[in-house]
């Protein structure tokens, strides 16, 4: 059975998901869908004195490395482990290595035949993707495929709601550290790179930005009666709705970059850990007038899509291996048949030649006997060695 492992390493959280639903080529609809197993942990790294890395833990003594997952932020974060200096790309690869080892530790396959996909922001340049690829290869993770986050999200959408008619989907990724908006082609016949236009990001929106606004509003009520403070803090839903409405500026800018309008968009896919509140989908549906799709846990949607991509790759590899093994077996059996057939044909030709010579000799003897000639024949070479004339009366 094909197995896929998807990894989404964000600035705040890291999510891993396993997809173990039979063959990825099984038809949708009546089949039983098994929701991938997912684990969420903080995107932090700490190291033992031996150099072994730990993910998602804040040590009591010492420090944890954070804020390294976004390679577009050219920070000076470096980790010194022994004699090695790890760049942000190396730190991301270290997180991936730890999570893969943990996810597959108790799995029956132990990594054999598992397709693994790691997501990255769509706004990464070729240089940044190459840097991440080199870091994975250096960590002996050459089998890990790199996939853009909105592409993984669209893959989940097609697996969960497909098959889809060809069209455009707007991926609204509201995470802890920011908002990413991307247009992606979905449905039959989509290109290898389905991203349309440019993926845009803003740190003015997201979990941290909204938390700061809530704290600012609560601070503005300092010194007011407790009832007023309670009302101010309790009005979080209204504050969140205003926060999402303001983010639509980024959505429309993304549309203009792709030279399309909202009328060209078929659906909106909402993902990200900060997109859990129902107000997010409600505001987007009301303001954009388009169907809005949100997974039960939007934080894991991207990892689930990456796991589906990994499972599909594993299923194709299994099918190719089975086809190659079948072709090799047929070739071996065919070779044996051809090898056995050639001697039989040669024997048949040889026996036919002998039969012809015997028939020829019999015809000669018969003819000579009719005219009264006696003869003896040596069978080894068919040469007449004795000849006598018999008188005819």
Q: Are residues 28 and 81 in the same domain?
A: yes
Question: What's the rounded mean pLDDT across residues 234-244?
Answer: 87
Q: Are residues 381 and 267 in the same domain?
A: no
**Is 271's pLDDT higher than 70?**
yes
Q: Are residues 372 and 252 in the same domain?
A: no
pLDDT for the residue numbered 273: 94
Of 321, 351, 385, the position where a domain reaches its end is 321
**Is 1's pLDDT higher than 80?**
no
What gap in Å lies between CA 33 and CA 129, rounded to an integer?
A: 32
Question: What's the rounded mean pLDDT across residues 175-181?
Answer: 95
Is 346 domain-assigned? no
**Is 267's pLDDT higher than 90?**
yes
**Is 198's pLDDT higher than 50?**
yes
DSSP H or E segment with residue 9: strand 3-9
Is 336 domain-assigned? no
Is 341 domain-assigned? no
**Per-residue DSSP letters for 327-349?**
HHHHHHHHHHHHHHHHHHHHHHH
pLDDT for the residue numbered 78: 72
**Per-residue DSSP letters for 273-331?**
GGG-SHHHHHHHHHHH-S-EEE-SSGGGHHHHHHHHHHHHHHHHHHHHHHHHHHHHHHH
Q: Are residues 41 and 91 in the same domain?
A: yes
Percent of the chain with pLDDT over 70: 74
Question: What's the rounded mean pLDDT across residues 244-262?
Answer: 96
Domain limits for position 123: 3-321
Q: Are residues 247 and 371 in the same domain?
A: no
pTM over 0.75: yes
Q: Are residues 7 and 90 in the same domain?
A: yes
Is 225 domain-assigned? yes
Is 243 domain-assigned? yes
Residue for token digits 């969140």? 240
**Distance spanning both ends of the chain, measured CA to CA:** 96
Q: How many folded domains does the chain comprise? A: 2
pLDDT for the residue numbered 346: 38
The string of pLDDT tens digits covering residues 25-60 is 444 444 444 455 789 999 999 988 787 889 988 777
**pLDDT interval class at 21 (50, 70, 90):** low
Q: Are residues 364 and 241 in the same domain?
A: no
Runs of H (alpha helix) within the chain? 88-105, 126-138, 149-161, 207-220, 226-234, 236-257, 278-288, 301-370
What gap in Å lies between CA 173 and CA 184, rounded to an integer?
A: 13
The string of pLDDT tens digits covering residues 127-137 is 999 999 999 99
**Is 256's pLDDT higher than 70?**
yes
Q: Are residues 108 and 225 in the same domain?
A: yes
Question: What's the rounded mean pLDDT across residues 5-34?
Answer: 72
What gap in Å lies between CA 268 and CA 57, rounded to an integer?
A: 35
Starting at the edge strand that comes first in sequence, how are the strands of the sheet with 167-174 ordered? Answer: 195-202, 179-186, 167-174, 267-271, 292-294
Q: Are residues 391 and 251 in the same domain?
A: no
Picking from 78, 80, 55, the residue whose alpha carbon sits closest to that of residue 68 is: 78
pLDDT for the residue numbered 108: 67
Picking from 34, 43, 37, the residue whose alpha carbon sits closest to that of residue 8 is: 43
Helix axes 126-138, 88-105, angle to 10 degrees: 50
Of 321, 345, 370, the position where a domain reaches its end is 321
Percent of the chain with pLDDT over 90: 53
Is 340 domain-assigned? no
The string of pLDDT tens digits covering residues 341-374 is 444 433 333 334 444 454 455 444 344 343 344 4
Q: Are residues 238 and 308 in the same domain?
A: yes
Is 342 domain-assigned? no
Q: Is 333 exposed, middle or buried (0-12, 13-18, 19+ CB in 10 A)?
A: exposed
pLDDT for the residue numbered 232: 56
Copy the structure tokens of residue 209: 């930005």
**66-to-69, 88, 114, 212 alpha-carbon distances in Å:** 8, 10, 29, 19
**Is 86's pLDDT higher than 80?**
yes
328: CB partners within 8 A, 6+ apart: none
Helices and strands in the chain, H and E counts: 8, 16
**pLDDT interval class at 2 (50, 70, 90):** confident
**Is 277's pLDDT higher than 60?**
yes
Of 273, 303, 321, the position where a domain reaches its end is 321
CB 268, CB 284: distance < 8 Å: yes
Question: What's the rounded mean pLDDT across residues 332-340?
Answer: 60
What gap in Å lies between CA 141 and CA 129, rounded to an integer?
A: 15
Is 58 domain-assigned? yes
Copy the structure tokens of residue 25: 């080529």
Q: Are residues 40 and 128 in the same domain?
A: yes
**CATH code of the domain covering residue 50:** 3.30.420.40
**Is 379's pLDDT higher than 60?**
no
Q: Are residues 210 and 96 in the same domain?
A: yes
User: Mean pLDDT across the chain, nearest whole number?
Assistant: 80
pLDDT for the residue numbered 27: 45
The string of pLDDT tens digits covering residues 156-170 is 999 999 889 999 999
């Amino acid at each position: 059975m094909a197995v896929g492992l998807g990894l989404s390493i964000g600035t705040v959280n890291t999510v891993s998901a396993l997809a173990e639903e039979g063959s990825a080529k099984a038809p949708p609809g009546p089949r039983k869908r098994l929701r991938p197993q997912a684990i969420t942990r903080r995107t932090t790294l700490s190291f033992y004195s031996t150099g072994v890395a730990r993910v998602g833990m804040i040590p009591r003594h010492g420090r944890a490395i954070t804020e390294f997952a976004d390679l577009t932020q050219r920070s000076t974060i470096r980790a010194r482990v022994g004699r090695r200096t790890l760049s942000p790309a190396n730190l991301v690869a270290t997180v991936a290595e730890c999570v893969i080892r943990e996810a597959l530790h108790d799995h029956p396959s132990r990594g054999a035949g598992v397709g693994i996909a790691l997501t990255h922001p769509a706004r990464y340049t070729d240089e940044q993707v190459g840097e991440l690829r080199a870091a994975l290869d250096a960590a002996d993770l050459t089998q890990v495929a790199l996939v853009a986050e909105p592409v993984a999200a669209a893959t989940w959408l097609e697996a969960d709601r497909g098959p889809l008619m060809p069209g455009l989907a707007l991926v609204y990724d509201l995470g802890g550290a920011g908002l990413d908006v991307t247009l992606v082609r979905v449905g039959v016949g989509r290109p290898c790179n389905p991203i349309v236009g440019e993926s845009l990001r803003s740190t003015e929106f997201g979990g941290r930005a909204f938390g700061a606004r809530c704290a600012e509003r609560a601070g503005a009520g300092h010194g007011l009666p407790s009832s007023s403070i309670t009302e101010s803090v309790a009005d979080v839903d209204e504050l969140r709705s205003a926060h999402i409405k303001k983010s639509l500026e980024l959505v429309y800018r993304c549309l203009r970059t792709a030279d399309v309008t909202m009328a060209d968009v078929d659906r909106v896919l909402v993902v990200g850990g900060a997109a859990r509140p129902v107000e997010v989908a409600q505001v987007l549906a009301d303001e954009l007038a388009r169907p809005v799709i949100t997974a039960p846990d939007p934080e894991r949607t991207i990892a689930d899509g990456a796991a589906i991509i990994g499972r599909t790759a594993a299923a194709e590899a299994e099918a190719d291996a089975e086809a190659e093994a079948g072709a090799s077996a047929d070739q071996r059996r065919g070779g044996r048949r051809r090898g056995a057939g050639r001697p039989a044909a040669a024997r048949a030709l040889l026996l036919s030649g002998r039969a012809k010579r015997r028939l020829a000799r019999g015809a000669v003897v018969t003819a000579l006997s009719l005219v009264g000639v006696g003869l003896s024949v040596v069978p080894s070479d068919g040469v007449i060695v004795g000849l006598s004339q018999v008188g005819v009366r």
